[in-house]
Amino acid sequence: MPQYTPPLRDMQFVMHEVLNATDELKLLPAHAEIDAETINAVLEEGGKFAAEVLAPLNQSGDAEGCTLDPKTHEVRAPKGFKEAYAKYVEGGWPALSCDPAFGGQGLPHLVNQALYEMMNSANQAWTMYPGLSHGAYEALHAHGSDEQKQLYLPKLTSGQWTGTMCLTEPHCGTDLGLLRSKAEPQADGSYRITGTKIFISAGEHDLAENIVHLVLARLPDAPQGSKGISLFVVPKFIPNADGSLGARNGLYCGGLEHKMGIHGNATAQIVLDNAAGWLVGEPNKGLAAMFVMMNAARLGVGMQSLGLTEVAYQNAVAYAKDRIQMRSLSGPKNPDKPADTIIVHPDVRKMLLTARAYAEGARAFAMWTTLMLDKELATDDEDERADCADLVALMTPIVKAFFTDNAWIATSGCLQVFGGHGYIREWGMEQFVRDARINMIYEGTNTIQSLDLLGRKVLADNGRKLKKFGQLVTEFIEEEGTDEAMQEFVNPLADLGDKVTKLTTELGMKAFQNADEVGAAAVDYLRVCGHLVFAYFWARMAKVALAKVGGGDPFYRAKLATARFYFAKLLPETAGLIRSCRAGVKPLMELEEALF
The pLDDT of residue 296 is 84
Q: What b/e readout covers 476-515, taking b as 16+ CB neighbours within 10 angstroms?
A: bbeebeeeeebeebbebbbebbeebeebbebbbebbeeee
CB hemisphere CA count around 573 (13 angstroms): 19
pLDDT of 539-559, one tens digit each? 999 999 999 999 999 999 999
Q: Note whether residue 67 is domain-resident.
A: yes
Q: Give CA–CA dist 540/235, Å, rounded.
A: 46
Q: Note whether residue 594 is domain-resident.
A: no
Q: Are residues 302 and 415 in the same domain?
A: yes
Q: Are residues 77 and 134 in the same domain?
A: yes
pLDDT of 230-264, one tens digit each? 999 999 999 998 999 999 999 999 999 999 999 99
The pLDDT of residue 226 is 82
Low-confidence ranges of the chain (pLDDT < 70): none
Return the CA Rg of the chain.
24
pTM tops 0.75, yes or no? yes
495: region left, alpha or beta (phi > 0 left; psi from -120 to 50 alpha):
alpha
Q: Note whether residue 152 is domain-resident.
A: no
Range of the domain at 258: 161-284
The one catalytic residue in 138, 169, 376, 443 is 443
Q: Note whether residue 137 is domain-resident.
A: yes
Cβ contact 269:253 at 8 Å = yes
Q: What b/e readout covers 57-74, taking b as 16+ CB neighbours within 10 angstroms?
A: bbbebbebbbebeeeebe
Q: Give CA–CA dist 542/409, Å, rounded.
A: 24
Own/partner pairs, 422-428, CB within 8 angstroms, 24+ separation: 425/59, 425/63, 426/1, 427/2, 427/315, 427/319, 428/1, 428/2, 428/58, 428/59, 428/315
Q: Give CA–CA dist 83/89, Å, rounded.
A: 10
Domain boundary among 444, 471, 491: 444
- DSSP per-residue string spanning 89-144: HHTTGGGTTS-GGGT-----HHHHHHHHHHHHHHHHHHHHHHHHHHHHHHHHHHH-
The pLDDT of residue 295 is 83
Q: Give CA–CA dist 26/141, Å, rounded.
A: 23
Q: Are residues 435 and 476 in the same domain?
A: no
Q: Are residues 554 and 522 in the same domain?
A: yes
Domain boundary among 284, 316, 333: 284
The pLDDT of residue 583 is 97
The pLDDT of residue 287 is 83
Domain boundary among 419, 444, 469: 444
Q: Are residues 410 and 516 in the same domain?
A: no
Q: Could you confirm whether 443 is annotated as catalytic?
A: yes
The pLDDT of residue 481 is 86
Q: Give CA–CA dist 253/72, Å, rounded.
A: 9
E-only strand ranges, 350-488: none
Q: Note whether residue 151 is domain-resident.
A: no
Q: Are residues 273 and 299 in the same domain?
A: no
Q: Are residues 99 and 177 in the same domain?
A: no
Count other C-beta atoms under 10 Å from residue 339's C-beta.
15
The pLDDT of residue 70 is 93
Q: Which of 453, 539, 531, 545 is nearest to 499 (CA)?
A: 531
Interacting residues of 357 by C-beta distance below 8 A, sequence separation 6+: 538, 562, 565, 566, 570
The pLDDT of residue 445 is 95
Say which amino acid occupies 546. L
Q: Give CA–CA dist 484/481, Å, rounded.
A: 8
Q: Give CA–CA dist 301/281, Å, rounded.
A: 26
Element holding 510 (H helix, E strand): helix 487-513
Q: Note whether residue 365 is domain-resident.
A: yes
CATH number at residue 131: 1.10.540.10
Q: Are residues 401 and 484 in the same domain?
A: no
Count other C-beta atoms under 10 Å from residue 32's C-beta.
10
Q: Note whether residue 153 is domain-resident.
A: no
Q: Are residues 494 and 581 in the same domain?
A: yes
Q: Are residues 166 and 138 in the same domain?
A: no
The pLDDT of residue 293 is 74
Q: Note whether residue 551 is domain-resident.
A: yes
Cβ contact 256:58 at 8 Å = no
CA 10, chain centre distance (Å): 19
CATH number at residue 351: 1.20.140.10
Q: What are phi and psi of 443, to 5 degrees?
A: 60, 35
Instruction: Give the strand pairing for 161-166 and 210-217.
Output: parallel
Q: Give CA–CA dist 270/184, Å, rounded.
A: 18
Q: Are residues 434 and 503 in the same domain?
A: no
Say which amino acid occupies 476. F
Q: Are residues 415 and 431 in the same domain?
A: yes
Q: How many domains does the chain have?
A: 4
Q: Give CA–CA dist 446/397, Å, rounded.
A: 8
- DSSP per-residue string spanning 174-191: S-GGG---EEEE-TTS-E
Q: Could you tell me the CA-to-CA distances from 53 to 78, 79, 270 in Å, in that order?
A: 14, 13, 30
Interacting residues of 243 by C-beta distance below 8 A, sequence separation 6+: 151, 154, 155
Beta bridge partners of 183: 193
Element holding 154 (H helix, E strand): helix 146-158
